[in-house]
């Protein structure tokens, strides 16, 4: 995860990269965010994932694309992220 600021006095904007798993909704994509965490007791590295809905205004994202999304104000009941850019296109 990375933090970006436009002005020193403003809040930081959280951006993350993830893979698009669904683009069946209108102007909305489902993005899978994967991370690795250490198990608190056993110390083993475990994979964890989260699915979020992101706003795709232009409808340019396809399944399998790697995208950068940024946190924003709530756009609907489940949508608090927006697509900033497509980092890598899916292999066709």
Instruction: Please write the tens of the pLDDT for every residue from 70-85.
Output: 999 999 999 999 999 9
Instruction: State the pTM of this model.
Output: 0.83
Q: Distance from CA of residue 8 to its chain's centroid? A: 24
Burial class (CB in 10 A: 0-12, 13-18, 19+), 67: buried
Map out the domains of the chain with their CATH numbers: 14-88 (2.40.50.140)
| pLDDT number for residue 3 | 57
Structure tokens at 18: 């993830």
**Per-residue pLDDT tens over the stretch 2-59:** 555 556 667 778 999 999 999 999 999 999 999 999 999 999 999 999 999 999 999 9
Structure tokens at 2: 């990375």
**Rounded distance between C-alpha atoms, residue 56 and residue 20, angstroms:** 11
**Rounded distance between C-alpha atoms, residue 82 and residue 79, angstroms:** 8
| pLDDT number for residue 23 | 95
């Amino acid at each position: 995860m990375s933090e970006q600021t436009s002005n020193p006095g403003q809040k930081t904007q959280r951006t993350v990269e993830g893979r698009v798993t669904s683009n069946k909704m209108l102007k909305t994509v489902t993005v899978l965010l994967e991370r690795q965490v250490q198990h608190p007791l056993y110390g083993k590295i475990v994979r964890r994932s989260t699915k979020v809905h992101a706003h795709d205004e232009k409808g340019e994202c396809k399944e399998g694309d790697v995208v950068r999304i940024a946190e924003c104000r709530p756009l609907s009941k489940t949508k608090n992220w927006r697509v900033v850019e497509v980092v890598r296109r899916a292999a066709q």
